[in-house]
Amino acid sequence: MINKPTLIALACMPFFSFAEVAYQLKIDQGTHHLGDVSITFPKSAQSHLDIQLPDWRTGRYEILNLANGVRLFNAEDQNGKALEWKKVDKNTWRVHFDEPTEVNIDYQVYANELGLRARHIDDSHAFIDASGFFMFSDSFRQEPVSVELDVPDTWRSVSGMAFGDNKHSFVAKNYDVLLDSPIETGINELRKFEVDGRQYELVIWGEGNYDVALMLRDLKKLVKTGTLIWDDYPYQRYVFMVHATSGARGATEHLNSTIIQRHRDSFAKRDDYVAFISTAAHEFIHTWNVKNYRPAGLVPYDYTNINYSDLLWLAEGSTSYLEDYLLLSAGITTNQEYFKGLTRTINRHLNTPGREVQSAAQTSFDKWINQGGDHGKNYSTNIYSEGALVSMALDIDLLVKSDGKVSYKDVHRELYKQHKLPNSFTSADVKAILKQLSGRDYTQWWAKHVDGPLNLDFDALLAQVGLEHARPSSAKPIASMDAIAKNSGEVLILNHVAREGAAWAAGLTPGDKIVAVNKHHVRKSLNATLQSFSAGDKVTVDFIRRDKLMSTTLTLSRDYNKPKLVRAILNPSIRQAKLYKAWMGVEHPSHPIK
């Protein structure tokens, strides 16, 4: 019989004290990128337990084959007796047992893939995303978990998860929370701050030319902007993890944290710093968009199969789009810096022939298989730039037709209200919200701009908010092959040939080594080689293919030595200025509204 004080004590114990999955990671061979994992699964009455490592990780829609670093797998029952096991596919280990028992497994992980942001160990730190380290069983996916790290005494461990009973242990509600709460442990710099009653941490691994005081100042401004779009915050504590690296770069959002990687010398210049703080804003927005509302194909996550969705453009591209609004509104960046970034996005889109072939919805669905390179640029787009431009076009359309009263930010506010996890949303749900907010049916707009290849008139679109996409008056026409080449010393090697362009029409292809144009040896670049020619000129191009000298005739096209730029018009109307302020949250540069 259990007495009353014992019952009270049991009731007060945390939820993770019962039937938890216990993980341990020991790191004593960091120089060799090795870690030893032990897992205890609760008692099971099944005849076998399938134990798996994910095939992909959240935030990166790509099969990563993370199980290829696992070796020395072993399984035992609760009494230490060896259990029979067999690997049944590339990331599943099936453990057999004859009677109910806890299952204890251990294995070694090789973690030397920093850029994947899933698994990395060296002599100074470990970045631990559960997808690259910790196996799971569907039978216990919803059970509480604990993580115990055995790491050098000089290391510090940080995560969005709650601490356990020591500075290197953590607890989580279930495996999904563990998988979305990476751990940074090692020799690092840690700063803590509070904004509006919520706790924040900035942890930096690696030396670099970053300015911690500047980062803290702007992060404090950034995290105050959440209610500019949404009605509340889905967390009480948030961790910004930063890696100053020797080459790995990128970032990934998580449940209440983010990991941002940049080259250690890419923080100090203003353009570099804007890129960093823009990334921080992007991942911060993901705390709502993706981590608290996301498309139906991603709910719930299936860690061992592809999770298809035609709305990844909204998950990622809209996030890229909204980051500029938060940065401008917070006074972290300027109008001119925004125009510079928008210029890059628009010009990259216009210089990608694949925009005429693949829609935002199609590139979303195909994200798992889309590849870069010449063919990718000619026949594909990407969820980030296409999604950002679709979002901008939709935002301006909503603002113009509502006289500034309804915007795309309202759409995201409603997605958070109406489709918060564990719910999800579809394209039909987004169109329903658009109709609810605007009173208009967006079916045809969606078919044209989302389901069909994006074809925007940027001059007309931007003019509505007092901007223009124009070429500088100093720009001069130049001859072009509609191709990109790299100099390899004596020849120019083509690495991109634009579909239906001049080089394409002449039969040139990536890998061709251009030797001469009109019998004159090539110079250091295509532009330098063609500077004495004009658009419309026919030239002979000598090139090497399959180690054989070949020749073709090519008609040069027209390009310019300077790209078009996004900039504010000098004399916007009052309406244009008002719409700009409703759009970006700040005054129009040429016409402040009094």
Provide the pLDDT for residue 587: 94
**Mean per-residue pLDDT, 281-292:** 98
Provide the pLDDT for residue 14: 38
Provide the pLDDT for residue 44: 87
Provide the pLDDT for residue 6: 37
Provide the pLDDT for residue 410: 98
The pTM is what?
0.92
Provide the pLDDT for residue 297: 94
The answer for residues whose C-beta is within 8 angstroms of residue 252's C-beta and 6 or more apart is 57, 58, 59, 60, 117, 258, 259, 283
Instruction: Look at residue 530 and tell me whether its pLDDT is greater than 60.
Output: yes
**Mean per-residue pLDDT, 164-185:** 97
Provide the pLDDT for residue 372: 86
Instruction: Look at residue 461 and tell me whether its pLDDT is greater than 60.
Output: yes
Provide the pLDDT for residue 371: 83
**CB-CB neighbours of 339 under 10 Å:** 19
**Mean per-residue pLDDT, 201-216:** 98
Whether residue 71 contacts residue 34, with contact meaning beta carbons closer than 8 Å, is answered with no
Provide the pLDDT for residue 27: 98
Domain boundaries 311-465, CATH class: mainly alpha
Q: Which two tokens stand for residue 537?
A: 């000129």
Provide the pLDDT for residue 51: 97
Instruction: Look at residue 178 and tell me whether its pLDDT is greater than 90.
Output: yes
189-292 and 311-465, same CATH topology: yes
- Where do the domains of the chain lie? 21-186, 189-292, 311-465, 477-560
Provide the pLDDT for residue 18: 56
Instruction: Look at residue 8 and tell me whether its pLDDT is greater than 70.
Output: no
11: confidence class by pLDDT, cuts 50, 70, 90: very low
126's torsion region: left (phi>0), alpha (psi -120 to 50) or beta?
beta
Which percentage of the chain shows pLDDT scores above 90? 94
Whether residue 244 contacts residue 208, with contact meaning beta carbons closer than 8 Å, is answered with yes
Q: Which fold has domain 189-292?
A: Neutral Protease; domain 2 (1.10.390)
**Mean per-residue pLDDT, 160-185:** 97
**Mean per-residue pLDDT, 539-562:** 97
pLDDT tens digits along 64-83 = 989 999 999 999 999 999 99
Instruction: Look at residue 2 and tell me whether its pLDDT is greater than 90.
Output: no
How far from the centroid of its chain's Cα atoms is residue 355's Cα?
20
Instruction: Look at residue 16 and tell me whether its pLDDT is greater than 90.
Output: no
CATH of 477-560, one of 3.30.300.30, 2.30.42.10, 3.40.50.11540, 3.30.70.380: 2.30.42.10
**Mean per-residue pLDDT, 268-279:** 98
Provide the pLDDT for residue 357: 95
pLDDT tens digits along 476-498 = 999 999 999 999 989 999 999 99
592: confidence class by pLDDT, cuts 50, 70, 90: confident
CATH-assigned architecture of domain 21-186: Sandwich (2.60)
pLDDT tens digits along 354-404 = 999 999 999 999 999 988 899 999 999 999 999 999 999 999 999 999 999
pLDDT tens digits along 541-550 = 999 999 999 9
Backbone phi, then psi, for 517, in 5-degree steps?
-125, 125
Q: Which two tokens stand for residue 248?
A: 């790995």
**Mean per-residue pLDDT, 405-423:** 98
Residue/partner pairs of 115-118 with CB below 8 Å, 24 or more apart: 115/247, 115/248, 115/249, 115/250, 115/261, 116/57, 116/60, 116/64, 117/57, 117/60, 117/182, 117/250, 117/251, 117/252, 117/259, 117/261, 118/57, 118/64, 118/66
Instruction: Look at residue 509 and tell me whether its pLDDT is greater than 70.
Output: yes
**Mean per-residue pLDDT, 294-315:** 96
Instruction: Report which of 115, 120, 141, 111 is spatially closest to residue 49, judged by C-alpha positions.
Output: 141
Provide the pLDDT for residue 593: 63
Report the alpha-carbon distance of residue 80 to residue 501 in Å, rounded. Answer: 68
**Mean per-residue pLDDT, 341-351:** 96
Cα angle vertex 464, ends 381, 576, to 5°?
A: 140
pLDDT tens digits along 249-264 = 999 999 999 999 999 9
pLDDT tens digits along 98-144 = 999 999 999 999 999 999 999 999 999 999 999 999 999 999 999 99
